[in-house]
Amino acid sequence: MSGLGRYFGRRLLLLIFVVWCVLTIIFALFKLLPGDPTSIFVDSNLSVEMIERQKTLWGLNDPVWLQYLRYLKNMAVFDFGDSFFQNEPVREILLQGFLGEKFGRDSIWEAHLAGELWNTNVPLQAVLDTFEYSLRDVINWQVGTRIPLNATPQSDIALLCGDVPMFSGRMGRKGGNIAVRIGEKVERIRGTP
């Protein structure tokens, strides 16, 4: 074997050793933590027999050495089990995260999300005027202080969604309330919020 082949062979063995050490430390840490997964993911109102049955299904009643060997085997074949929250294999979830659309998209979920986004409430602000005052002046304001605005009843009102200007319009009345009639959409420069 050439010097380069021996070098790569040693590096590969070192990599395998380091991965084994990391996996062993993770396994040991989970074993040292108080409780077990059943105390987190199984309803505490279940009978002791039901909880023991779930521990048996998850292999938690097996000897620690057998749990360790099963864990190493599963890690070697990238079998991370099923997600308790999404009820699908963790491997598939990770692949979707890394590969994105190349791996596949969930069109049902996307349609549901799009529908929910359209029904999401967003805060809107109607801004008559903005101005700056010194902090000293603001601190000295009292109830009854009058603040002059650079606006008239014909001034445009800015409608903001968060900090993003969306529309401008004119102030008026509808019924007994003050209203804003949208006059135009504010065009934003690409790349700005």
64 and 158 inside one domain = no
> What's this model's pTM, rounded to 2 decimal places?
0.45
In a domain, 142, yes or no: yes
Domain that holds residue 69: 3-118
| Domain CATH code at residue 129 | 2.30.330.10
Residue 107 lies in a domain: yes
* Per-residue pLDDT tens listing for the chain (193 residues): 678 888 888 999 999 999 999 999 999 998 888 877 777 767 777 777 887 887 887 788 889 899 899 989 988 888 888 777 777 788 887 777 666 654 556 677 778 888 888 888 888 888 888 888 889 988 999 999 888 888 877 888 888 887 788 888 888 888 888 888 888 888 765 555 5
Give the end of a domain, one of 118, 152, 172. Answer: 118
* CA distances in angstroms from 191 to 158, 172, 185, 188, listed in the order given: 21, 34, 17, 8
Q: Answer yes or no: do 34 and 53 share one domain.
A: yes
Q: Return contacts of 173-181, CB within 8 angstroms, 24+ apart.
A: 180/126
